[in-house]
Amino acid sequence: MSVPYPSSDGGISVELGKGSATPVLDAGKVDLFPIANQDFEKIKTLKDLALRNITLEQFPIVGAWRDKLFAPEGTPEICDELPRLLTEFLRRPESQALPAYTRRAQALRYVFANKTAIVKADDLLPGQTTTSFVGPVVYADTIGYCIWPELKTVTTRAQNPFKIRPEVADRLNREIFPFWLEQKPIQELARYSDYDSADYENRDRVAGSYPPSIDPPLRKKAGQTPKAQELMERVAFFLSDKATCVSHTVPDFERVLKYGFDGLIERARQDIANGAAATPQQVEFLEGVIEVYEGAKIYAEHLAEAAERVGNQALAAICRKVPAQPADTLHEALTVVWICYHLLLQENTNFGFSIGRLDQILNPFYLADWQKLDSAAERDNYTRRAVELVSHFFLHCSDHVPLSTSGSETLFAGSGSNQALTVGGTRYENGQAVDAVNDMTYIILKATEILSIRDPNVHARYHRDVHHRDAQGNPLPTEVMDPYLRRICQVNILTRATPALHGDAAVVPAMAGYYAAHTGISPEEALADAYDYTSIGCIEENAAHKHYGNTGSTLMVLPAVLELALFGGKHRSDGVAPKSPNLFYGDERYTTPPLTTVASMQTFIEAFRFQLNEMARHVVQCNNYFGRFYEQSRQSPFLSGLFTGPSNTPDSNGASFRDVSAGGAKYNSAGIAIIGLADVIDSFCVLDSLVFSGKVAAGELLAAMQADFDENGLQPKSPWAAFLERVQSWLHPEDAPLSLPNLSQDRLKQIKEMVRLAPKYGAGVDQTPGGIYNNAAAVKYTHLLTEMLQEVFAQYRTHRGGRYLPGYWSMTNHAGFGMLTKATPNGRRSGESFASGITPCPGVVKANGEPVNLLDHMLSVTSVNANTVQNGYTYNLSLTTRDRGHFEADTELFSRYMKAFADQNGVLVQMCVSSINDLVAADRAATAAGQTGAGDAEHKALEPFKDLMIRVAGYSAYFVTLSPQMRKEIIQRANFGLDTGAEQHTLSAL
């Protein structure tokens, strides 16, 4: 069952033909309107940009493969091939005797050369990421060992179970994990080693408008756990991905397409022979890169042999040519990309490792193939073949998922590998931005539409000025939507969740400003690189294969900083009484004045800034600390050989001959994903408008939070409970509850209503003094907080060089972190999810109690200065369309809203096109099917919803695979009627 077009009654339509991902009329006619190509100078081979005559039914292999993903065969099966091969190599005494970089490179060559070459007779692309149809990759040398305690239960867990064969579980348990426990993953290697940040060089090349870089000092002895690591391991404050991966980046496939591995190997050998690699370390680096290139060639030869064995002569011939030699055809080019990509996943964790601007990479090959054909029929068939090839690539990208434990399912439930693929946008030529949308853009969008699957994570770039033009280059009237934007919106409605939309006019200047601040980079070069940005992982934006931004390096919980400001540097998990310890130093003092002693909003802001700086310092210490051990023990020679900066190509010079993990890339940074921004903005608004205006005493607000904004929480304690509390306070004064005023139920109701009507982010940008919709406070604190975060983190340098760049995206962990956090001043109750990404909180109303509308919501987001979000943001916009008869009209309306977002300097918007009723029905079915003792009836009722795709907070997911908490959060999000702009929760109670 594929995702249908929303039905007129708000329920799921299940009458569609099997495998169809497009809406159909009752008579069976495809309800997909054509979009005429009006500029054959730009789009050279397509008459209809919607490719209306191409359907999934024309590709039976693709359709059957897609069906298997949602059948029992699609349940991921744990494969131990990667850790088994690594263990085999590293167990050898001669391997242990090798220098660290050589050992890593030779280990990867061994993996590549011995990896099982899998090719089926009907495959169009060769090889698989694992030996399973869908397989979690076990990275035993980082975090894969965490599944060890669950090997016997992972097959039966209620949420997203994995299959595992007994012999695989036995090998992991008896042979592989014990070996890696002795080897120590990064986190433990760091803990049991001496460390002094002063021993490491400053690699930062960023100056310009950025402050002098700071590496906060950290010194420790082996066996000690620094405070930064302790805070990270407590989870509630921040998480560091540095311990698990060099990922969240895009490799340079084009150098392999252009030169082949043979050409790249020859250049590396020249750099060694002529002394360009001048030091022993640089020579060792290049020799390591050559090793992994050679291993990839051996694997390709094995793929050719496997193809011959099953009679797939076409793939056999291709694999005997590429990737050793340059590619000449579209089929060869996609083969190169796929081989390189799934080999990179043997080296680098499959978490945010992204594909890049695939349409820009492939279009020259497609056009060359197409132009060789003579007849119109041959050319039409070839376009159809191109869609089929891309569909096979998409399905191959679905053959791997992250290895998640039961615990991580709470924070990252339903997440795929977050392998972002970007289409469209602009490029920089001759001093100006030009349209980069091409034929392959629409071919990739067609594959996205007909498959409607989670992977890869598709993104479209759009420039408000460049794309809103006619064939002659003249600006279109405001009311006319350009074909490219209409097609993006058409696909979004059909898939319900993809692609996301980036605004080039906002993103490019922000990234160019960062690049231009690098020593030796001219403004023109910076601008050209910024125009070549691509989406990374969830939604982050970096120049493809030039900027290693490790954009998911840290997830930081901003409401934890708010808590420290409220309680003087103390946290409720440790106690907030006078005798309780402060978080960062462990003694009894208040590091800033607690809210009950603060006299002004400005003083509170200063306290918040202090606590933010303290948290940021520990975040940076942790990332740099882990990163330096990562650089020493788990380098990435294959990625470094496919990246601009570390190594040369036959026609480029100036390489650093340094691994990407050690700062070898042209540009470096580290991304901080800020969790809970909207909750903190709204809390600032409540404090300003209620506490510091005298309407609510600080103690009253804290008492309301202590009662969890629930009148039942005000019930008096029994005499026995009160006595026990006094005894506990006497014995352990550090755990004593904060002394707060007693609230009556009526007073709590008053406070709750005042909190509800206080200015809120998401209620619009009207700043008319005295106006009934005046939301000036929310606008003020939106700017203050995003600018403060950018300023605080920009001062710190990463271990690789470059700075820390904040962004706002959260996957599903805004729900997980919310579960660990008590009530906050904005009325959010204990354990409830934070708002996702940069999206406003649910339930926001205007100052007079009226519900917000879609434009209020959208303009609040676009008011954020793009220069303060250089690590990107996710704005999650939920929409309800009308019935199928309004498909074209809904597409037009959708386009207008997306154009408004881009016109107002929006950075990124991702859409969830599902009605609340659809989501509630799917949630009920998933809950019933997940109950102990659920039978055939419950599982059959779940079938229509298995591929219901939604946007989470940076990626697409199948709704029913999410945790119950995450499903609830998505249902509660503001959801707007596309035709009216009205918030749907206000129209009918669920």
pLDDT at 813: 84
Report the DSSP beta bridge partners of residue 356. Answer: 421
Count Cβ neighbours within 10 Å for each residue of 574-585 and write b for 16 or more, e otherwise.
ebbbbebbbbbe
Does residue 441 register a pLDDT over 60? Answer: yes
The answer on pLDDT for 443 being more than 90 is yes
Whether the pLDDT of residue 6 is over 70: the answer is: no
Residue for token pair 């005493």: 697
**pLDDT value at 445 more than 50:** yes
pLDDT digits (tens, 9 = 90+) for 688-700: 999 999 999 999 9
| pLDDT at residue 867 tops 80 | yes
pLDDT of residue 724: 61
The band of 955, judged by pLDDT with boundaries at 50, 70 and 90, is: confident
- 5: pLDDT confidence band, cut at 50, 70 and 90? very low
Confidence (pLDDT) at 74: 95
* pLDDT greater than 80 at residue 479: yes
How would DSSP label each residue in 223-287? T---HHHHHHHT-SSEEEGGGT-S-S----HHHHHHHHHHHHHHHHHHHHHTTSS-SHHHHHHHH
Mean pLDDT of 547-556: 93
CA distances from residue 978 to 113, 846, 913 in whole angstroms, order as listed: 53, 20, 9
**Burial level of 14, CB count in 10 A (0-12/13-18/19+)?**
exposed
Is the predicted pLDDT of residue 560 greater than 80, yes or no? Answer: yes
Contacts of 233 (CB under 8 A, 6+ apart): 225
Provide mean pLDDT across the span 527-551.
96
Q: Is the pLDDT of residue 952 over 90?
A: no
CA 675 – CA 558 distance, rounded (Å): 6
Mean pLDDT along residues 818-837 = 95
Confidence of residue 720 (pLDDT cuts 50, 70, 90): low
Q: What is the dihedral of CA 944, 946, 951, 955, to 10 degrees?
A: -160
Query: In sequence order, which residues have a C-beta less than 8 Å from that of residue 816 and are 6 or more positions away?
Result: 410, 411, 412, 965
Q: Confirm if 104 and 375 have CB atoms less than 8 A apart.
A: no
User: With bands split at pLDDT 50, 70 and 90, how would you rate the model's confidence at 11?
Assistant: very low
β-strands 875-880, 908-913 pairing: parallel
pLDDT of residue 567: 98
- In the numeric block, the tokens 């599982």 are attached to 939
- Given a cut of 90, whether residue 2 has pLDDT beyond it is no
| pLDDT confidence of residue 242 | 77
Residues 36-94: pLDDT tens digits? 999 999 999 999 999 999 999 999 999 999 999 999 999 999 999 999 999 999 999 99
Is the predicted pLDDT of residue 933 greater than 80, yes or no? Answer: yes
The percentage of residues in the chain with a pLDDT greater than 90, rounded to a whole number, is 84
Chain centroid to CA 936: how far? Answer: 35
885-922: per-residue pLDDT in tens?
999 999 999 999 999 999 999 999 999 999 999 999 99
Exposed e or buried b per residue across 345-356, where buried means at least 16 C-beta atoms within 10 angstroms of its C-beta: bbbbbbbbbbbb
Q: How large a percentage of the chain has pLDDT more than 70? A: 94
C-alpha distances out from residue 489 to 14, 420, 471, Å: 23, 18, 20
Q: Is 723 helix (H, G, I), strand (E, B) or coil?
A: helix
Binned at pLDDT 50, 70 and 90, residue 416 comes out as confident
Q: Are 581 and 588 in contact (CB under 8 A)?
A: yes
Residue-level pLDDT at 714: 82
Split at pLDDT 50, 70, 90, the class of 411 is low
Residue 722 has pLDDT above 70, yes or no: no
Q: What is the structure's pLDDT at 3?
A: 35
Give tens-digit pLDDT for 198-219: 999 999 999 988 999 999 999 9
Dist. CA 161–CA 151, nearest whole Å:
11
Task: Report the chain's terminal Cα–Cα distance, integer Å.
Answer: 26
Instruction: Supply the pTM of this predicted model.
Output: 0.94
- Compute φ and ψ for 545, nearest 5 degrees: 50, 15
Q: Sorting pLDDT into bands at 50, 70 and 90, what band is 13?
A: very low
SS3 call for 908: strand
CA 406-925-56 angle, to 5 degrees, is: 95
Half-sphere exposure of 636 (CA within 13 A, CB side): 27
Predicted confidence band of residue 1 (pLDDT cuts 50, 70, 90): very low
The three-state secondary structure class of 67 is: helix
DSSP for residue 716: P
Coil, strand or helix at 585: coil
The confidence score (pLDDT) of residue 508 equals 98
For residue range 647-704, list pLDDT tens digits in order: 999 999 999 999 999 999 999 999 999 999 999 999 999 999 999 999 999 999 999 9
Average pLDDT over residues 708-735: 70
User: In sequence order, what are the beta bridge partners of 975?
Assistant: 878
CA gap 13, 885 in Å, rounded: 14
Query: Mean pLDDT, the chain, as a whole number?
Result: 92
